[in-house]
């Protein structure tokens, strides 16, 4: 790969200053931390763990790497995540500080102090215990964005019950797969959720999922009454959340757990079709959530922090539930969408709540650019955004033009833009600008966090020179890393520490390149069959399997293509059991298949483009030639060698179907 220029022509005109008095203040301070980690890796992490976390029983062992890649950190120490996020703030005099400012879809506001949040968490923790949930039992959370969702996560942590949050946009089938795989004993959900003025069912989807079988372990379905809408009810199993909590005391002794005790399992799409349960520990994960809140976001006592993610994704775990509360921050939580009731909602909320740190996805930024260009009333220039001091992006690389617009019109040219690279599996930021340290380059996530040994290697695991592209790896374990894939340690080993790279390098699954002069990292895209749609990872095999399950479909292949708004769009190539449709018939069948995928997986997995052919382009050995389908999806002229394709004529069919 050749070198790339990540900066647009006018980016230097912004002259964005570094933050003053930041947690890491200046490049010399950054280099000192990097040197400390290099000189004594274990001592570096031990110091951070003692500084950022409260331990019930102090650890004496830092890293156990005797069974690599199944690394253990601080394993003889004991702590509780809920205690660290709540009790410690009360002890430190923050009881009356606002923990959460919740804004509902219709604009109603709820303010929750740390004292009130503590009592709500304790009541639910006691209620779960009263229903028989104990340390080590798994609880699935299928909730709307709400204070109750955060309370549910922290309540599970308080009693040592690992939680698995499932995004509220996933289908009954997707929910069922996760409930069964993790062996859950309880589900916490809501009657309905509200998005853009519309109510969407949740409890009904839970019932549908449980009716699919294999979930006999579910003894409790606790329901948050969000709308009061009509829902099915099963006596004994179904309980209103407020009624469960009402009978409970508002204090609850935390369950002290070992640092390696699973805090949560979060399912993410993989290239094999079946979702994989990423398991995170308590101690290592919480350490990095707290440290990155301080380093990346430079969190101060007076800040108002707003991460626009959903708790169903890792960003919502780390930078809504655990990170902000671990450092005693005030944060905004939003139920709705950025375009309702109009596309100025984000800017109006920043103005209203005096948000100082704003963290959102490039997809949202790109969609709001279009709206702002079309209507000045919803342009960020029409709002008072002077409270902002830091901006961040997450979920996918941000293209330089969107970066520049974001920096200029939202940040006023004065706010550092933190283009954060990390994954579900890493638990927190891995490569990111630091506001008091890093000169910015649009499109680049710049330099690794202190303690993170990132490199770019070739197919054999050898590091490539700066300026050459390759595969992003992490060469040393770090505390917040994935511990295993739930119930499938071999899949973990093969997927993240592949033998072809020597078995000791963590494979991020992304391509990257480093600048020849600065050493800055730029992420160039996924190297596996996982699509990144609006910051959400979706496995191609998962979507293909859903399509193939439709009675009309004989075969399906799914690829991604660049999309101006979503970053990557899903393109499906389909062979039907009947004749290839055309015209209105093709549109009708495509609409039916989109709806089917939405039901099987969720609306985010619906293909944007569905094309029909008489057959798939395959090699003589029967392998689908996906490189050709990717070119077709992008609208490229096929100049590649097609001599190995048994039926090259079908390529034209798919191309003509665009």
Q: Is 618 annotated as a binding residue?
A: no
Cis peptide before 69 (omega within 30 of 0): yes
Q: Is 397 annotated as a binding residue?
A: yes
DSSP string, 253-272: ----EETTSEEEEEEE--TT
Q: Is 197 annotated as a binding residue?
A: yes
Q: Measured between alpha carbons, how far is 389 from 439 in angstroms, rounded to an integer?
A: 16
Q: Is 198 annotated as a binding residue?
A: yes
Q: Is 195 annotated as a binding residue?
A: yes
- The DSSP symbol for 408 reads I
> What is the distance of C-alpha 366 from the center of its chain?
18
Q: Is 421 annotated as a binding residue?
A: yes
Q: Is 344 annotated as a binding residue?
A: no
Which two structure tokens, joined as six digits, stand for 448? 């690794």
- Residue 148 neighbours by CB under 8 Å, 6+ apart: 190, 224, 241
Q: Is 321 helix (H, G, I), strand (E, B) or coil?
A: helix
Q: Is 578 annotated as a binding residue?
A: no
Residue 237 burial by CB count (10 A; 0-12/13-18/19+): exposed, middle or buried? middle
Q: Is 510 annotated as a binding residue?
A: yes
Q: Is 120 annotated as a binding residue?
A: no
Q: Is 65 annotated as a binding residue?
A: no
Q: Output the CA angle 474-476-480, nearest 5 degrees.
A: 85
- Decide if 401 contacts 378 (C-beta within 8 A): no
Q: Measured between alpha carbons, how far is 292 from 269 in angstroms, rounded to an integer?
A: 25
Q: Measured between alpha carbons, how far is 146 from 104 in angstroms, rounded to an integer?
A: 8
Q: Is 47 annotated as a binding residue?
A: no
Largest CA distance in the chain: 73
Tokens 């520990």: give the residue: 281
Q: Is 423 annotated as a binding residue?
A: yes
Which two structure tokens, joined as six digits, stand for 380? 């960020």
Phi-psi map region of 228: left, alpha, beta (phi>0 left; psi -120 to 50 alpha)? left
Q: Is 526 annotated as a binding residue?
A: yes
In the annotated binding site, the residues are: 195-198, 315, 395-397, 419-424, 510, 526, 534, 537, 550, 553
In the annotated binding site for ATP, the residues are: 395-397, 419-424, 510, 526, 537
In the annotated binding site for Mg(2+), the residues are: 550, 553
In the annotated binding site for CoA, the residues are: 195-198, 315, 534
């Amino acid at each position: 790969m050749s070198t790339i220029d990540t900066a647009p022509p006018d980016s230097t005109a912004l002259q964005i200053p570094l933050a003053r008095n930041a947690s890491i203040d200046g490049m010399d301070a950054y280099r000192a931390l990097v040197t400390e980690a290099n000189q004594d890796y274990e001592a570096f992490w031990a110091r951070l763990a003692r500084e950022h976390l409260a331990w019930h029983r102090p650890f004496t062992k830092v890293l156990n790497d005797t069974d690599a890649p199944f690394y253990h950190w601080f394993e003889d120490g004991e702590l509780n995540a809920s205690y660290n996020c709540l009790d410690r703030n009360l002890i430190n005099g923050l009881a009356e500080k606002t923990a959460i400012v919740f804004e509902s879809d219709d604009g109603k506001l709820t303010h929750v102090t740390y004292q009130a949040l503590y009592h709500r968490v304790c009541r639910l923790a006691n209620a779960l215990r009263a229903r028989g949930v104990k340390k080590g039992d798994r609880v699935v959370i299928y909730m709307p964005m709400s204070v109750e969702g955060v309370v549910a996560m922290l309540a599970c942590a308080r009693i040592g019950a690992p939680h698995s949050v499932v995004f509220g946009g996933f289908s009954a089938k997707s929910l069922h797969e996760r409930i069964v795989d993790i062996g859950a004993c309880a589900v916490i959900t809501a009657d309905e959720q509200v998005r853009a003025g519309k109510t969407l069912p949740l409890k009904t989807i839970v019932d549908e999922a449980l009716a699919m079988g294999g979930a006999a372990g579910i003894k409790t379905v606790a329901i948050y009454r969000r709308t009061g809408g009509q829902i099915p009810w099963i006596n004994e199993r179904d309980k209103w959340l407020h009624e469960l909590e009402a009978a409970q005391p508002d204090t609850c002794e935390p369950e002290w757990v070992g640092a390696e005790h699973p805090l949560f399992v979060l399912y993410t799409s993989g290239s094999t079709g079946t979702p994989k349960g990423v398991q995170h520990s308590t101690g290592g994960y919480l350490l990095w959530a707290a440290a990155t809140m301080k380093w990346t976001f430079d969190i101060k006592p007076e800040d108002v922090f707003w991460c626009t993610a959903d708790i169903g994704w890792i960003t919502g775990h780390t930078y809504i539930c655990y990170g902000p509360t671990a450092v005693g921050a005030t944060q905004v939580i939003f139920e709705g969408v950025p375009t309702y009731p109009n596309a100025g909602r984000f800017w109006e909320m920043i103005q209203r709540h005096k948000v100082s740190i704003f963290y959102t996805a490039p997809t949202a930024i790109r969609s709001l650019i279009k709206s702002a260009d079309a209507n000045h009333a919803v342009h960020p220039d029409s709002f008072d955004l002077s409270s902002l001091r830091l901006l961040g992006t997450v979920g996918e690389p941000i293209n330089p033009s969107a970066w520049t617009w974001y920096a200029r019109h939202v940040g006023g040219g004065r706010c550092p833009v933190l283009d954060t690279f990390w994954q579900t599996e890493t638990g927190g930021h891995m490569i990111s600008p630091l506001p008091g340290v890093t000169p910015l380059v649009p499109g680049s996530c710049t330099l690794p966090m202190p303690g993170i040994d990132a490199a770019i290697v070739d197919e054999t695991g050898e590091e490539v020179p700066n300026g050459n592209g390759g595969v992003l790896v992490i060469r040393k374990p770090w505390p917040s890393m994935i511990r295993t894939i739930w119930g499938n340690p071999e899949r973990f080993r093969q997927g993240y520490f592949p033998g072809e790279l020597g078995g000791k390098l963590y494979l991020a699954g992304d391509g990257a390149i480093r600048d020849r002069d600065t050493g800055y990292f730029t992420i160039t895209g996924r190297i596996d069959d996982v699509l990144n749609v609006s910051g959400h990872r979706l496995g191609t095999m998962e979507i293909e399997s859903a399509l193939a399950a439709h009675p009309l479909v004989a075969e399906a292949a799914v690829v991604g293509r660049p999309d101006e708004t979503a970053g990557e769009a899903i393109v499906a190539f389909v062979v039907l059991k009947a004749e290839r449709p055309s015209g209105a018939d093709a549109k009708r069948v495509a609409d039916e298949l989109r709806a089917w995928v939405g039901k099987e997986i969720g609306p985010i997995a619906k293909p944007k483009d569905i094309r029909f052919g008489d057959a798939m382009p395959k090699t003589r050995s029967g392998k689908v030639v996906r490189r050709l389908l990717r070119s077709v999806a992008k609208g490229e002229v096929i100049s590649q060698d097609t001599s190995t394709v048994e039926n090259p004529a079908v390529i034209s069919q798919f191309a003509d179907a665009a």
